Structure 1
Amino acid sequence: MLGAVETRSVSPVFVGRAGELTALTEALARATAGEPQALLVAGEAGVGKTRLIEEFLGTARDRGAVVAVGGCVELGADGLPFAPFSTALRALRRLLPDELTAAADGQEGELARLLPELGDPGGHEPSDEDSTARLFELTVRLLERLATDRTLVLVLEDLHWADASTRHLLTYLLRTLRRGRVVVVASYRADDIHRRHPLRPLLAELDRLRSVRRIELARFTRAEVHRQLTGILAAEPDPALVDEVFDRSDGNAFFVEELVVSHTSGCAAGQLSDSLRDLLLVRVEMLPEDAQRVVRIVAEGGSTVEHGLIAAVAGLTEDALIEALRAAVGANILLPVPDGDGYRFRHSLVREAVSDDLLPGERSRLNRRYAEALEADPALVRAGERATRLATYWYHAHDPAKALPAVLRAAVETRKRHAYAEQLRLLERAMELWDEVPGEVRASLRPVDCADSYPPLARCAQDPDARDSATAPLRHLDLFAEAAVAARLSGQRERALKIGRTALRLLESGEEHDPLRAAWFWTERARLQSNLGRGDGAEEIARAQDLVKGLPPSAVHAVVLVAAAGWGMLRAPGPEALAAAERAVEYARLVRAEAIELSARLTLGTIRVAAGDREAGLAEMEEVRARTTRLGHFQEAARAHINISSALEGLGRSREAVGVADAGIELARSRGLVDSAAWIRGNKAESLFSLGRWDEARTESELLLSSATSSKPRGSAFLRLAQIAAARGETPTATARLAEARAVFGTRDPIPQYTLRVAQVAIAVAAAEGRLADVRAELAAAADAGFPPGTHRYGWPLVLTAVVAEADSRGLPAAEEGRAEALATVRRCVRALATPAPVWAAYAQRVSEELARAEGRESAARWAEVVAAFTPLERPHQLARCRHRLADALLAEGGRREEAAALLREAHATAVTLGARPFREDIELLAARARLSLVAEQRPAAPAGTGEDAFGLTPREREVLRLVAAGRTNRQIAQELFISPKTASVHVSHILAKLGVGGRGEAAALVHRLHLVDARS
């Protein structure tokens, strides 16, 4: 109705942008073929981003695509969390109601945080670091399911206004969208992205993604401005007008439109101010007074304002309001919102100019009227926007007494939506308002006012005499607690640490006195210190424990004890950790805090397994897994899968561990627990490696790197990849991955399950490169640090790798110095390591025999016992290694060649299957030296009488090699063999090439390991 009277300022002809439109339509074609596409459209304000996208969307609709558009909202300083995604999903629900209902089936409550129409997002389990990732994962899966049978175009406009939650969700979407017929197009103002703009880091990250394409819109050329004017005027423009408009607009499409309007309205060019604001206000100032008033009201109401809300604030009669809106729409200043009952500015630049032109008192008065109207009739806006908008209106109305409760209610809503960054901004605003609010208003606030948003742990810290936390008034410290949690959950750990420090200063200064709250803040600080790599949190947990001593039982007691038990479980799983876990369970039961109790029981079960009470510990963890699943506490249920699969692997029950891990990954994925799935996947990769399924272990580790959102699972993936690479002879890759793992784990919080694994892989890489001194240094450091209970699973592989390196270097002159000390260190480690399961008893036997080999006293009989110990266990790599050693010992003792050949064939088959190239070559060389046949393809043994061995070494080269192994220089070799130094150098070069080694040290190690020559000098 209103469109018919619109002032013509927009060209009906689409001008320029042919290349950009082609890029968009090509992306649409690729997405239709099943390859998701992502594009960023950038350009300065008014350059034509929206018009380009509108043209593209017309093409997309013509080709049968489903289009959903959402725009970021500029609402004062407080963007609505997830606004563009909520708007787009609402459009999809309108266009595809049945399909969206089916795609969201079972996850309506979680997805309602983005689309409230799906249900109530309340009643959820306590928030955690995984909650946002869970929501993001479910959103991506929803879009993928919707795009299975149709092409979906998702447009997100005005990213320069995007809230932090929207930016994070967009990043996650573009990083993880792998299937479905989806095109994601996002636009932003390039000229708004200053050096400190929050969108800048996101753009830098997206630039590194090869799957994201950026389209930059330049200003129009003079020829394009000429075409635009022709379309607007429906006639050939005067060349002088083209020159004037082009000069004044500098090719900005929107400025061209405004200049044409001023020209056709009779304004001479000289009457226009050089100020951009004045240029944009010309059309507004030509409106009738009522229309100007309505435009000013809409400018202060937000990016889009509902008709009913405008009517309530304007105070005009219905007819007068309609006429005012008709004039504003006819002048192409306001536009009706498609599929809605509201209005927005046709261009945000005009809105900004109108808003900036308001007087300070006028702005606060309008905000007050908006707030009063919304309080009088909450149905004027959507329920999901009500709290945030009301908080913004009251804040800008400069009424602290009204603003503080509204801001707190808005913080509740943003936390329910897992928009923790926005919640933090609101809470910081609440802390800013706190001292400005009269005491009686503050006294009227209750924790119940914050409902689900109030941190459960801070709520536990109410005064002991107040049994019901809802009866105690909200305190300033409660805001600090809430803000600290919001900062941590939004990934702003430094900010969380700063908030906690401020709270603790208030508590320690005597301004506030509450040992329970102080204990909670110290416990939170311990977690942050560990997460930031600032320390292990031991001092902070000790402070918290001191604070709760002697106080009546409370949930805070249980939380502190759970933290202490968790610290001990990871770093010192001994009697103190066990006692702390038992007390945590007891205290949680006393105060009927079942969620805390289940967490404590899971920790308790894990510690019991490490302490040797294996079956009781596993049973405890299994009970927790079942109970948390029934209660819907899926985060804790996923943690149970993590701990159970890890415990089973520690007991050598790797096949069972893989089964538990698979079930856990399925649970975590179905519930969007992205980081939990990553932790479980890391455990699965470890068990797959143990089972000899190395290709699968590598695949799982690579998946882990692409999906983990926290650092330690990524570090585990780097370590596993380094371990596989080292075992397969890919030493440069192993070195690089090991360095990445070290960078992740750091040195400030030495947790044995990480430090021991890093040391084991470091020893393997050093041994492969012939760096025996580094092998010994790593072993000595590990021995000095010790092996706490439960770390045998990491200690035995570490000690074994080190002692094998010693045995392989026996007889090497350079290795003799320090050997006795190194072997003594091995024995010290052996005495400290437990053998709580058959697999570790087998490891102990092999370490013992490798010690004997390092000292030249190995025997075939004892190697046969080691082989027998590994045979019933699912450790194919270890069994093959022992068979190889037994075969070598049999051959060295001069008999049983057929038995040795059979052992070598079995070991060789395993080495080939694993892809363990160095091990396979060792087997082949031993077989060639002994003239034994292998089933697999091998280097043929040299025919008798040729004077060459399996490496093709001549007798003279074997003489030179003997001297190389003895540590002689080229000059010394030349003197002993009566040849020139140059000839000796040539011989050494040929030998290194034939052996396939990188240096004299590796050649010497190979000589001694394979008994190629008599190395005695």
Structure 2
Amino acid sequence: MRSPASSTAMIGRESDLEALRAELGEASAGSVDAGRPRAVVIGGEAGIGKSRLLGEFLAESEGSATVLLGRCVDLGSDGAPYAPFAAVLRRLIQQVGLDTVLRAAGPGAGVLSVLLPELADDSAVPARTGAERLYEVVTVLFETLSAERPLILAVEDVHWADGSTLELLRFIVRMTERGRVLVLLTYRSDEVSRGHPLRSYLAELERTRRVTRWELARLQRDQVAALIEHLQGGEPDLATVDRVYALSEGVPFFVEELVGIDGLDTGEELPETLRELLLARYERLGDGAQRLLRVLSAGGVCVEHDLLVAVYDGSPDELDAAAREAVVANVLTAEGTEYSFRHALVREAIHADLLPGERARFHTRYAEALEASPQRSAIQLSSHWLAAHDLRRAFLASVEAMDEARLSYAYATSAAMGDRVLEMWDGVPDAEQLAGRDRIAVIARTASALRNAGDNERALALVDVALADLRGISPARHARLLRDKAQYLSNLSRPGSAELLEEALAVVPPEAVADGDPLRPHLLTELAARFMIAARYDEAIAMAGQAIAEADHAPASLQSVAHNILGSSLTAAGRVEEGLAELDIAGRLADGDASALLRHAVNASDALNSVGRYEDAVRIAEAGAREARRRGVERTSGVMLSSNTAEPLLALGRLDRSAELLDAALALDAPPSFRAQLQRNKLWLTLWRGDVDRAEELLRRWRGSLRILGELEMQARLSIARITGEIALARGDAEQAWREAGGIGSEPFATIPGYDLPVLAVAARSLAERAVARRAAGAAGDLDAADALDVSAEALRLETVLAALGDWPTFPIWAPLVEAELASARAVAAASDTDHERRLALAVEAWSSAVDASRSPLAPAHLHPYVLLRAARAALAAGDRPAAERLAAASREEADRFGFGLIASAAAGLVAHRGTRAVAGAAGAAGAPLTEREEQVLALIEQGLSNKQIGERLFISAKTASVHVSSILRKVGASTRTEAVYRAARASR
């Protein structure tokens, strides 16, 4: 048996190595403030050379970058949570020192003890606040250190990674913003079958633009020949190349193994199966080396020397001699303090070859050694005792592992251990005594872990199992199970949470709860929150008030949340001063509790924004964001405040700053309700900047999830109606806009004044535009009696809805706009020419009042130029072209100043060609009146622009521009673009 080392030359991977260099160059080109973080995911079958490529790249990069390497062990979800990060952190401390690491991690550095327990120091470690705190601290650590030199984080074999490791890696890849960081991941593609969790994980990761993914291909025949030549030190004959290429099928590891076999030149003694090939070197070792490798295989791909000493039954000299023989034979590698199989395939083959007695005996030794080890891991103990068929000890270790993983925020692993405990429960006679809890408690904790791991479906199924058998369960535990189910349903955006919380409260009347137990105040607060988001404000106020009354001995943080819900509900119900006062109380009570502080900042800023106090809303939201940053949750919990900052910034006309916040926040993992709010604000900004096509595209992508949330949250339902209606109006579809917003004031909408008023404005505009379109489509240019009656009746209904909102602070801003839109609708629907002229005059007067009202500081920045534009259209309809031009010019100037492209382009095209057809839909057109978008296109046609140029100017595709041009030609009865300009100009005079 010849034993050449692995090839020292990179053969067949030159382009892959160059691609990695390019990725590092891209990541290094950024700065700590404007990073260009990159991630590369490299897949390939076993033996294809992933580790070889990675090792070559990392070795050459050590001179210019901080290189950190971690490996996932081949115990799947049973591996110790964050195992590769523990190794990475230890290496980092060796490189730069513990003090540097702690400073770079920032104020939350104490949470790093989750990865390295030896760092724990109760006097300095802040309270743990969840996995997101750990994820953010690790990300900040890497970002900060990358300021000095680029940082490479490499993790091998992520197909074996536990769920917590995958989540932390996903967070780093997606959330790194300011650092010069390159993340490298490798996985074995032949291990990732259809049901493997890594399959969907990689698909999601790949959607991030900073991620590049490729798979290593097998070597071609000429590359195999070059590799053989390098290994043998001379040119091989053709027969040898043919034999090796045929048997290895171009897999580099197999080439190296085949070249190391005596008899290769003659073709004798060559392995006939993959198993024989993998065991070829092993079987030619001495008995001592083989015995060591069998023991080692039960411990995984990598085993620490001290652990191996404790497990191996020979003397230290025998261990050293056996290990040296295996290293020389190129079966093992020794690096630092650990032994590793040169390839996981060899370890798997040896482990599979163990006799049943050997397997049980070796795993028992590992378990016993780990029991006494300072690096003791209950999760690994569970796996070893299970492999050793010691059910009782496996059960005990699994219970401990379940709790250990939960404390490390490794929720997926905790859930897996909970499942294992439940599977073994009936096979362990005294399971309840050993576990220290009953079966229902294990189910509840497992469900909670699943919820925290993001698997609410399975959490819901488990809690249903617990609720199906409540024998011996106290009322308090029953209520908590109902509360848990309510949370899981809410997380899944499904109805039923409020009913479950009401049932839970019925189960535990005040006399059924022990003194000091905050269960009832908590249930009351949660129920109040459910009522609040459903706009059932009277019930929310009652529940929150009752929670406050029963919360005398509850934690201040819970009292803060109760006052928070009460304040938000009072404000939304129109009792603004009372509500804001309660929110102030919530803020004072929240002091010191991160969750309560952030919740207060979110709700207080939302309330202030809804009453038109935009600067105050921005101030509160930005203060909350700073607190989130200080507490190390800027990119997780803190993302909720991005939307609450962006929305009042939009109202203040600070579009660039708002866009910056929205784009950054949308790249993060906000909870569903806040993600939807971010999406709605992004839609609004995109639309009013003038990119209607992009707004439509985003709406198609997000509409499904937005609708689901709208089924549960009334604020979301109203906000969706507003933006979808506005997008429909922008593309000239008044009927669709009316379907979206016209039902305001009736089912399925409820009254939230701050949200109702903008939707009313959309509904009123839709009514006016529908009247224009229907009139133009009429045979004689007149509305028939039924249509006229429809407009009159609907206008009256909308006015009734409007009147009910008269106490809201922003009512004086929105009401004149709604009334002016309805006046225009009535003018179009006039039954006679005389009535039409009279109503046109009334509409002009109404728009004048709306212009004055929109100058208020309570008005959002877009409202004044928008109202000027609509007033210009009314003036054109009334035949007052000079007034229309003056109003349109003022609208365009102000819209341009803020960046409201939708208004600016419509104002630019309004008076150039359209004349009185703007509102009245006057005769002279061959079809319906031009939409505002078509007016914009017509103005650009007059300038001689091509379809492509029109598309670039209006942020639409050339194809869409062509559709608009065709519509214009049809409507004005023209056959050419020049004729369309001429006919439209004639119609305007």
Q: Same fold (TM over 0.5)?
A: yes
Give the structure 2 partner of residue 824 of structure 1: 796
Structure 2 SS opposite 1:196: coil
* Contact 1:304 1:344 (8 Å CA) reproduced: yes
Quote the residue 1:346 is aligned against.
342
Deviation for aligned residue 1:159: 1.8
Is this contact kept in 2: 1:6–1:332, CA < 8 A? no
Q: Which amino acid aligns with 1:324?
A: A
Matched, 1:19 2:3: no
> How far apart are the structure 2 equivalents of 1:598 and 1:415?
27
SS of corresponding position for 1:155: strand
Query: Equivalent residues in 2 for 1:741-752 (5 A)?
Result: 741-747=702-708, 749-752=711-714
Post-superposition offset of 1:504: 1.2
1:235, distance to aligned residue in structure 2 (A): 4.6
Shift of 1:830: 1.7
For residues 238 and 533 of structure 2, the distance between their equivalents in structure 1, rounded to whole angstroms, comes to 78
Q: Which of the residues 391, 395, 401 maps onto 1:410?
A: 401
User: Residue in 1 aligned with 2:284?
Assistant: 286
- Partner amino acid, structure 1, of 2:432: R
- In the alignment, the residues of structure 1 paired with residue 697 and residue 555 of structure 2 have an alpha-carbon distance, to the nearest angstrom, of 46
Partner of 1:620: 582
SS at match of 1:836: coil
Aligned residues of 1:76 and 1:302 also touching (Cα < 8 A): no
Contact 1:6 1:329 survives alignment (8 Å): no
Alignment of 1:894-973 (within 5 A): 906-917=890-901, 919-920=903-904, 960-961=924-925
Match of 1:390 among 381, 403, 407: 381
Any idea what SS the aligned residue of 1:437 has? coil
- Alignment of 1:443 with 2:449, yes or no, is no
Change (3 A) 1:65 1:725: closer
CA–CA distance in structure 2, aligned partners of residues 765 and 333 of structure 1: 65
Q: 1:992 to 1:1012 in 2, by over 3 A?
A: farther
Q: For residues 230 and 292 of structure 2, what CA distance do their matches in structure 1 show?
A: 30
Q: Does 1:581 align with 2:544?
A: yes
Change (3 A) 1:805 1:231: closer
Q: Deviations over 1:689-732 (max 9, x none)?
A: 22233344344333332224433333223322333444455443
Mean Cα deviation higher: 323-332 or 915-924: 915-924
Q: What letter corresponds to residue 499 of structure 1 in structure 2?
A: L
Which of 515, 527, 539 matches 2:487?
Answer: 527
1:936 corresponds in structure 2 to: none
How far does residue 141 in structure 1 lie from its aligned partner after superposition? 2.6
Q: Separation in 1 of the partners of 2:633 and 2:843?
A: 55
Aligned to 1:879: 864
Q: Secondary structure at the match of 1:335?
A: strand
Q: CA deviation at 1:367?
A: 1.8
Given the alignment, which residue of 30, 35, 38 partners 2:26?
30
Question: Is the CA contact 2:869–2:903 (under 8 Å) kept in the aligned structure 1?
Answer: no
Q: CA deviation at 1:422?
A: 1.3
The count of residues paired between Structure 1 and Structure 2 equals 912
Q: How far apart, CA to CA, are the structure 1 residues paired with 2:246 and 2:577?
A: 83
CA contact 2:643–2:674 (8 Å) conserved in 1: yes
Q: In terms of mean alpha carbon deviation, does 767-776 or 649-658 score higher?
A: 767-776
Which amino acid counterpart does residue 197 of structure 1 have in structure 2? H
Taking the aligned partners of 1:217 and 1:683, their CA distance within structure 2 comes to 45
For residues 842-900 of structure 1, give each alpha carbon's deviation from its aligned partner in whole angstroms, at most 9, with x where no partner exists: 323443454445432737776665555443424233334555677888999999989x9
Cα distance in structure 1, aligned partners of 2:77 and 2:702:
40
Give the Cα separation in 1 of the matches to 2:532 and 2:893.
40
Per the normalisation by structure 2, the TM-score is 0.84
Shift in CA distance, 863/433, structure 1 to aligned 2, threshold 3 Å: same
Aligned position for 2:51: 50
Residues 159 and 187 in structure 1, CA contact (< 8 A), matched pair in contact too: yes
Task: Deviation per CA, 1:96-149: give whole Å up to 9, x if none.
Answer: 22542321131212333334454359987686xxx4344333322321221112
Q: How does 1:80-99 map to 2 (within 5 A)?
A: 80-97=80-97, 98-99=99-100
Where do residues 658-677 of structure 1 align in structure 2 (5 Å cutoff)? 658-670=618-630, 671-677=632-638
Q: Displacement, 1:647? A: 0.7
Q: Helix, strand or coil: the match of 2:47?
A: coil
Q: Does 1:685 align with 2:681?
A: no
Relative to structure 2, which stretch is displaced further, 173-182 or 860-869?
860-869
The residue type paired with residue 705 of structure 1 is L
Q: Which residue of 2 aligns with 1:430?
A: 421
Q: Which residue does the alignment assign to 1:79?
A: 79
Which residue identity lines up with residue 216 of structure 2 in the other structure? L
Per-residue deviation, 1:352: 0.5
SS in structure 2 opposite 1:802?
A: helix
Q: Does 1:989 align with 2:973?
A: yes
User: How far 1:39 sits from its partner (Å)?
Assistant: 2.2
Q: Is the 8 A contact 1:387 1:406 kept in 2?
A: yes
Answer whether contact 2:916 2:988 (CA < 8 A) is retained: no
Inter-partner Cα distance in structure 2 for 1:41 and 1:918? 45
Distance 1:854 1:209, change over 3 A: closer
Distance 2:605 2:979 in 1: 43
Q: Please say which of residues 196-205 and 913-922 is displaced more in the overlay.
A: 913-922
Letter in structure 2 aligned against 1:518 = H
Letter paired with 2:640: W
- Residue in structure 2 matched with residue 66 of structure 1 by the alignment: 66
In the TM superposition, what whole-angstrom CA distance separates every residue of 1:253-273 from its partner, at most 9, and x where no partner exists?
222333333317x99965455
1:738-774 Cα offsets, whole Å, 9 max, x none, are 3444311225834210111111223323334444444
Deviation sequence 1:888-933 (CA, Å, 0-9, x none): 88999999989x988666544322224445644665678x6xxxxx
For 1:639, which of 587, 599, 612 is the aligned residue?
A: 599
- Taking structure 1 as reference, are residues 319 and 577 closer, same or farther at Cα in structure 2, changes over 3 Å only? same
1:358 to 333, 354, 360: 354
Within 2, Cα distance between the matches of 1:810 and 1:279? 81
Alignment CA distance shift 1:555-1:258 (3 Å): same
Q: How does 1:133-532 map to 2 (within 5 A)?
A: 133-237=132-236, 240-263=239-262, 270-271=268-269, 273-338=271-336, 341-375=337-371, 377-379=372-374, 382=375, 386-439=377-430, 442-446=432-436, 474-507=437-470, 510=471, 512-532=472-492
Q: For the residues of structure 1 that align with 2:316 and 2:185, how far apart are their CA atoms?
A: 38
Secondary structure of the residue that 1:652 maps to in structure 2?
coil
SS in 2 for 1:343: strand
Alpha carbons 2:106, 2:140 under 8 Å: kept: no
> For 1:916-961, what per-residue CA distance to the aligned partner results, in whole angstroms no more than 9, with x for missing partners?
45644665678x6xxxxxxxxxx5xxxxxxxxx77799xxx98623
What's the CA shift for 1:484? 1.0
Give the counterpart letter for 2:295 in structure 1.
I
* Corresponding residue for residue 969 of structure 1: none
Instruction: List alignment gaps of at least 5 residues for structure 2.
Output: 31-35, 776-781, 827-838, 931-967
- Report the equivalent of 2:564: 602
Judged with a 3 Å threshold, the aligned counterparts in structure 2 of structure 1 residues 644 and 713 are, in CA distance, closer, same or farther, namely same
Instruction: Provide, for residues 349-395 of structure 1, a one-character-per-residue CA deviation record: whole Å limited to 9, x for no partner.
Output: 111011111122322222222222222x222xx36xx2322222222
More off after superposition, 912-921 vs 149-158 = 912-921
Helix, strand or coil: the match of 2:624?
A: helix
CA separation of 1:286 and 1:800: change in aligned 2, threshold 3 A: same
Does the residue aligned with 1:39 lie in a helix, a strand or coil?
strand
User: 8 Å contact 1:9–1:258 — kept in the other structure?
Assistant: no
1:691-710 to 2 correspondence within 5 Å? 691-710=652-671
CA contact (8 A) 2:478 2:507 kept: yes
* Contact kept? 2:881, 2:915, Cα under 8 Å: no
Cα offsets for 1:758-815 (capped at 9, x unmatched): 11223323334444444444444332227646x1111011112222343466674455
Identity over aligned pairs, percent:
33
The one-letter amino acid paired with 2:231 is I
What is the rounded CA distance, in whole Å, between the counterparts of 2:670 and 2:259 in structure 1?
52
| Contact 1:483–1:496, Cα closer than 8 Å, also in 2 | yes
Q: Which moved more, 1:275-284 or 1:205-214?
A: 205-214
RMSD in angstroms over aligned alpha carbons? Answer: 3.8
Q: Which runs of 5+ in 1 are unaligned?
A: 447-473, 929-938, 940-948, 967-983
Hey, what does 2:936 align to over in structure 1? none
CA positional deviation for 1:313? 2.0
Q: Distance in 2 between matches of 1:886 and 1:20?
A: 63
Residues of 2 paired with 1:432 and 1:808: CA distance? 64
